[in-house]
Amino acid sequence: MATETLQFRTIETDMGAAHYAQIISQDGARSPEYRVLPSMPVTEYLDHRAPVVKLLAKNGSAWAFSVSVSGGYVAWKTIKTSKRFGLEQYRMRSVPGGYLGDYVKHYSRVINGKTYSFSRVKWNGGLGGVTIKLFQGQSTKVLREVWFPAK
């Protein structure tokens, strides 16, 4: 699989700094320069016929590249995520006669080159609320935990 390198440059102008990005393929071929936007553009600004290509820079930041409706090459910082993997779903602590049991869903995902694991527990079949936990890699270190009460 070929790997691309992202090269960035900044030009100082009277109006401020202009930032550009360029994709360099493994064989040394260079793409046109892309104007780096401060955020993701609105959909109407992008040419719907041109694909949006997402790449990771060496520092782990994700970038998206496309073409504007005026034909200009544009880039913006984004998030690159993988498909879910390591999916586990099971039911625990079901008690006959009332308690529905806790439904657990656990999976992992790579986000900007780093692996995170997610766990969702629907307490008492969702009647007791939902807890979502974010773990670093495959460890038990919880980065974030959020509980949502039942509606």
Task: Say if residue 64 is in the same domain as residue 89.
Answer: no
- Final residue of a structural domain among 78, 95, 120: 78
Three-state SS for 26-51 is CCCCECCCEEECCCCCCHHHECCCCC
- Final residue of a structural domain among 39, 59, 78: 78
State the pLDDT at residue 3. 67
Residue 95: pLDDT over 80? no
Ramachandran region, residue 7 (left: φ > 0; alpha: ψ -120 to 50; beta: rest): beta
State the pLDDT at residue 1. 32
Task: Say if residue 71 is in the same domain as residue 91.
Answer: no
Q: How many domains in the chain?
A: 2
Single out the residue of 67, 77, 75, 60 nearest to residue 46, CA to CA.
Answer: 67
Task: Say if residue 11 is in the same domain as residue 58.
Answer: yes
Task: Say if residue 99 is in the same domain as residue 40.
Answer: no
Looking only at Cα atoms, what is the longest distance across the chain?
75
State the pLDDT at residue 67. 94
Domain carrying residue 51: 5-78
Task: Say if residue 138 is in the same domain as residue 92.
Answer: yes
- Residues 62 and 56: beta-carbon distance below 8 Å: yes
Task: Say if residue 51 is in the same domain as residue 91.
Answer: no
Residues 9-60 pLDDT 10s: 999 989 889 999 999 988 889 999 999 998 888 888 999 888 888 888 877 7
How large is the average pLDDT for residues 76-97?
A: 84
Residues 103-145 pLDDT 10s: 999 999 988 888 999 999 998 888 889 999 999 988 888 999 9
pLDDT, greater one: 108 or 1? 108
pLDDT, greater one: 151 or 20? 20
Tokens of 23: 């994709």
- Final residue of a structural domain among 78, 93, 123: 78
Task: Say if residue 106 is in the same domain as residue 74.
Answer: no
